[in-house]
Amino acid sequence: MIRRILSTAGIEFRIALRNRWVTIAVVMMALFALVLSAAGSAPTGALGADRLSVTVASLTSLSVYLVPLIALLISFDAIAGEVERGTLPLLMTYPVTRGEVLLGKLAAQLGVVALAVVLGYAVAAVAALVTDPAAAEGLPALWRLIWTSTLLGASFLALGHAASCLARRPSGAAGMAIGLWLIFVVLYDLGLLVAVVGDDGGVFTKQVFPWLLVLNPADAFRIYNLASSDAVGAATGLGGAAGSIAAWKPLLSLILWPVGAALLARAAFGRVQP
Amino acid sequence: MTILTLSNLTKRYGAQTALDAVSLSIEPGERIALLGHNGAGKSTLMKLVLGLIAADGGRIKVGGHAPGSTGARGLTAYLPENVAFHPALTGREQIRHYLRLRGEDAGRADELLARVGLADAARRRIGTYSKGMRQRVGLAQAIIGAPRLMVLDEPTSGLDPISRRDFYTLLDELAAGGTAVLLSSHALTEVEARTDRIVILSQGKMVATGTLPDLRAKAALPLVVHLMPEAGQGEAVSAAFPEAEMNGVGLSLTTPQAEKLALVARIAALGGKVSDFEILPPSLDDIYTHFSREGAR
């Protein structure tokens, strides 16, 4: 089983390399990280935080948008592409299960996301360490940002696989991927904002809102990174809001989302007739 | 032990019956050709055997396993019609992957590719291959690990005559080693001498099965005779064969197989009035068309 998953992952990673997805993802992350670290240089002294912690705070806000986008871009074609090329029927006559196929693809694509995240953040980290000797204090926050970004990526990769299975055509899957990104990353927060404003500090804001924030993997990612680091919280001015939620809640959400989304993708794949 | 058994296999797509109560069994080492027009049910039958789609009635056993089960998949190899691969991978990478999926040594990829004549192209991307080369990659993956049952959907389409001969030679070797082969084609001429049994499907029904001589006898198609009269003897010959039709160069008529000798005697009786004659047995396509039409009725 492991051998089949690894072989699938190896072949998928090679395809991602040749399709330039690896290059695109890495360059995208690195460019944005570089721009952010250049733009974030001004307020450092006033906040009393080291340079790297400030950079991590900016990167957190960036990753909430960029990591899900990259993950969905890489993953939407996974099954729909096989259906369109006509490669799925042959694969399904091999002694490999659908779960193994999905896990292999997920592993390879997670490798691409992790690579992009590590290289992109490294660019920003190096820039911070070079200009501020105290920046090493921010390294734990950077490490946390890296693995939570990878978990966030895993959630959206698996969601992309589910969309790919449900749509069965690359064009439809691409549309669904864009829809997922808009809903999870943009519309969800807008909706919550509207609700909170309308509620004006009532039961919804105090009881329901924190849970709703944690339920969305993108928000859970943001809250966890902000709540875990005082420096990051101070730098963004959101420490108070994030601090009201215990850190284990968003962490659990970040861990459960990839698992749940992968199970969803497996169920959707089961309904695809090769 | 029988490797593949189909009993009363039925598949419907809405109101249309794609496969209607087909029963068939294949022994190890047997080569069976599945013939039929487009839409006759060949691909449907194969996909049912592979477990890619589910039957609406009847039973399938692949070496005692249910179709599509891990046991059945381990015994079966498949070559789809118009086989496709990811264009960004090289032939070598693709075959290595397939070897690992079957639990075989990935190092055998080069040997398999050489066996189908792709040794030189192994390191090139499949996207640069011709249709015939892709078909060979498909064939290379189908012979991984000496499968007990090979299901080949129109395997010779896209192959030139020499490649086709190589393909059948390879098939003979596999069959000699005990591999059962189920292959489909839409032309009897392509499969005639290379298969042990022929199964003709028409509109989802099995209309004929047997060896080629069996089918020839069962069809009992008449012989076609062409007569060429000597110059100026056209009317005399025509009078001797009133059933014949005149055409541009001579006369043509048909006669049942059993009256072949009697006919030759009649021609001989005309002596010098006939300059030449031909007796043509029914062609393979005639036989195939005969059974296909019969099923359509």
The H-or-E segment that residue B99 falls in is helix B91-101
Query: B95-114: per-residue pLDDT in tens?
Result: 999 999 999 999 999 999 99
d(CA A169, CA A19): 19
Taking CA–CA distances from A19, the nearest residue in chain B reads B88
Task: Say yes or no: B180 contacts chain A, CB-CB below 8 A.
Answer: no
pLDDT score of B245 more than 90: no
- The count of CB pairs under 8 A between chains A and B is 67
Instruction: Read off the DSSP letter of residue B87.
Output: T
Q: Which residue has the higher pLDDT, B219 or A68?
A: A68
Taking CA–CA distances from A85, the nearest residue in chain B reads B84
pLDDT score of B161 more than 80: yes
What are φ and ψ of residue B153, in 5° steps? -95, 110
Task: Say yes or no: B47 contacts chain A, CB-CB below 8 A.
Answer: yes
Task: Say yes or no: A260 contacts chain B, CB-CB below 8 A.
Answer: no
Q: Pairing state of beta strands B223-229 and B149-152?
A: unpaired
Taking CA–CA distances from B125, the nearest residue in chain A reads A18
Task: Say yes or no: B129 contacts chain A, CB-CB below 8 A.
Answer: no
d(CA B76, CA A94): 8
Is A14–B89 a contact, with Cβ atoms under 8 angstroms apart?
yes
Query: B45-80: per-residue pLDDT in tens?
Result: 999 999 999 999 999 999 999 999 999 999 999 999
**Residue B103 with chain A: CB contacts under 8 Å:** 3, 95
Cβ burial of B239 (10 Å; 0-12, 13-18, 19+) is exposed
Query: B190-207: per-residue pLDDT in tens?
Result: 776 678 899 988 888 898
For A7, the closest of B53, B76, B101 (CB atoms) is B101
Average the pLDDT over B3-13 and give the result: 92
Residue type, B7: S
Taking CA–CA distances from B51, the nearest residue in chain A reads A93
Model pLDDT, residue A91: 95
Contact B105, B99 (CB under 8 A): yes
Kindly compute the dihedral angle of the four CA atoms of residues B145, A99, A177, A119, in this order, to the nearest 10 degrees. -80
Average the pLDDT over B209-234 and give the result: 85
Tokens at A62, concatenated: 């960036």
Question: H/E/C letters for each residue in chain A?
Answer: CHHHHHHHHHHHHHHHHHCCHHHHHHHHHHHHHHHHHHHCCCCHHHHCCCHHHHHHHHHHHHHHHHHHHHHHHHHCCCCHHHHHHCCHHHHCCCCCCHHHHHHHHHHHHHHHHHHHHHHHHHHHHHHHHHHCHHHHHHHHHHHHHHHHHHHHHHHHHHHHHHHHHHHCCHHHHHHHHHHHHHHHHHHHHHHHHHHHHHHCCCHHHHHHHHHHHHHCHHHHHHHHHHHHCHHHHHHHCCHHHHHCCCCHHHHHHHHHHHHHHHHHHHHHHHCCCC
The H-or-E segment that residue B21 falls in is strand B16-26
Tokens at B205, concatenated: 């029904």
**Residue A95 with chain B: CB contacts under 8 Å:** 70, 73-74, 101-103
**Residue A19 with chain B: CB contacts under 8 Å:** 88
Task: Say yes or no: A271 contacts chain B, CB-CB below 8 A.
Answer: no
Q: How confident is the model at residue B10 (pLDDT cuts 50, 70, 90)?
A: very high
Task: Say yes or no: B154 contacts chain A, CB-CB below 8 A.
Answer: no
pTM of the shown model: 0.87
d(CA B143, CA B171): 9
Query: A174-190: per-residue pLDDT in tens?
Result: 999 999 999 999 999 89
**Residue B86 with chain A: CB contacts under 8 Å:** 11, 15, 85, 87
pLDDT score of A158 more than 60: yes
Tokens at A23, concatenated: 């290059």
Q: How confident is the model at residue A37 (pLDDT cuts 50, 70, 90)?
A: confident
**Residue B84 with chain A: CB contacts under 8 Å:** 85-87, 90
For A3, the closest of B53, B82, B100 (CB atoms) is B100
Taking CA–CA distances from B77, the nearest residue in chain A reads A93
What are φ and ψ of residue A31, in 5° steps? -60, -50
d(CA A31, CA A149): 17
Provide the edge-to-edge strand list for the sheet that holds B251-255: B245-246, B251-255, B223-229, B274-280
Q: How confident is the model at residue B165 (pLDDT cuts 50, 70, 90)?
A: confident
Tokens at A110, concatenated: 């997670």
d(CA A141, CA A148): 11
User: Which of B86, B94, B134 is best to mutate for the A interface (most A CBs within 10 A)?
Assistant: B86
Is B80–A90 a contact, with Cβ atoms under 8 angstroms apart?
yes
d(CA A111, CA A22): 9
d(CA B284, CA B282): 7
Query: A226-273: per-residue pLDDT in tens?
Result: 877 655 455 454 444 555 677 888 899 999 999 999 999 999 999 998
Is B86–A85 a contact, with Cβ atoms under 8 angstroms apart?
yes
Contact B19, B167 (CB under 8 A): no
Is A93–B83 a contact, with Cβ atoms under 8 angstroms apart?
no
User: Which of A87, A92, A93, A103 is best to mutate for the B interface (most B CBs within 10 A)?
Assistant: A93
DSSP string, B255-285: E-GGGHHHHHHHHHHTGGGEEEEEEEPPPHH
Chain A, 89 to 128: residues with Cβ < 8 Å from chain B are: 89-90, 92-97
Tokens at B151, concatenated: 């299901």
User: Which of A15, A90, A273 is best to mutate for the B interface (most B CBs within 10 A)?
Assistant: A90
